[in-house]
Structure 1
Amino acid sequence: MGMTLGKPFSGFFQETEQRIVLFGLDGTGKSSIMHKLKTGETLTTNMPTIGFEVESIKYKDSTLSIWEVGGQQRYKMFPLWKHYFHQAAGLVLVVDSTDRNRIEEAKNFLNMVIDEIQGSVPDSVAILVYGNKHDVPGAMSASEITNKLDLASLRKKNWQRNWHTQSSCALSGDGLHEGLDWLLQNAGRM
Structure 2
Amino acid sequence: MGTTLGKPFAGFFQENEPRIVLFGLDGTGKSSIMHKLKTGETLTTNMPTIGFEMESVKYKDLTLSFWEISGQQRYKLIPLWKHYFLEVLGLVLVVDSTDRDRVEETKDFLKMVIDEIQGNVPDNVAVLVYGNKHEVPGAMSASEISNKLDLVSLRQRNWHVQSSCALCGDGLHEGLDWLLKQKNIGGM
Per the alignment, do residues 16 and 108 of structure 1 end up closer, same or farther by CA in structure 2, a change over 3 Å counting?
Answer: same
- Which letter does structure 2 place at the counterpart of 1:175? G
State which of 180, 183, 186 in structure 1 corresponds to 2:179: 183
Which sits farther off after the overlay, 89-98 or 159-168?
A: 159-168
Per the alignment, do residues 166 and 40 of structure 1 end up closer, same or farther by CA in structure 2, a change over 3 Å counting?
Answer: same
Which residue pairs with 1:99 in the alignment? Answer: 99
Task: Give, in whole Å, the separation in 1 of the partners of 2:116 and 2:36.
Answer: 29
Structure possessing the higher radius of gyration over alpha carbons: 1
How far off is 1:62 after superposition?
A: 1.7
When the two structures are superposed, what TM-score results if normalisation uses the length of structure 1?
0.87
1:21 aligns with 2:21: yes
> RMSD across aligned C-alpha pairs, in angstroms?
1.6
- Which letter does structure 1 place at the counterpart of 2:56? S
Contact kept, 8 Å, 1:126 with 1:188, in 2: the verdict is: no
What runs of 5+ residues in structure 2 fail to find an aligned partner?
1-14
- Which letter does structure 2 place at the counterpart of 1:174? D
Runs of 4+ in 1 over 2 A off after TM superposition: 187-190
Which residue pairs with 1:111 in the alignment? Answer: 111
Contact kept, 8 Å, 2:97 with 2:139, in 1: the verdict is: yes
Which residue pairs with 1:39 in the alignment? Answer: 39
How far off is 1:58 after superposition?
A: 1.0
How far off is 1:187 after superposition?
A: 3.4
Which residue pairs with 2:56 in the alignment? Answer: 56
| Corresponding residue SS for 2:168 | coil
Task: Give, in whole Å, the separation in 2 of the partners of 1:187 and 1:148.
Answer: 27
| Corresponding residue SS for 1:145 | helix
Task: Give, in whole Å, the separation in 2 of the partners of 1:124 and 1:61.
Answer: 25
> When the two structures are aligned, how many residues end up with a matched partner?
173
Per the alignment, do residues 149 and 45 of structure 1 end up closer, same or farther by CA in structure 2, a change over 3 Å counting?
Answer: same
Which residue pairs with 2:89 in the alignment? Answer: 89
Percentage identity across aligned positions? Answer: 80
Task: Give, in whole Å, the separation in 1 of the partners of 2:166 and 2:116.
Answer: 28
When the two structures are superposed, what TM-score results if normalisation uses the length of structure 2?
0.88
Task: Give, in whole Å, the separation in 1 of the partners of 2:185 and 2:45.
Answer: 35
Task: Give, in whole Å, the separation in 1 of the partners of 2:139 and 2:91.
Answer: 23
How far off is 1:123 after superposition?
A: 3.7
Contact kept, 8 Å, 1:124 with 1:188, in 2: the verdict is: no
- Which letter does structure 1 place at the counterpart of 2:51? G
Contact kept, 8 Å, 1:35 with 1:43, in 2: the verdict is: yes
Contact kept, 8 Å, 2:107 with 2:150, in 1: the verdict is: yes
What runs of 5+ residues in structure 1 fail to find an aligned partner?
1-14
| Corresponding residue SS for 2:162 | strand
Contact kept, 8 Å, 1:22 with 1:91, in 2: the verdict is: yes
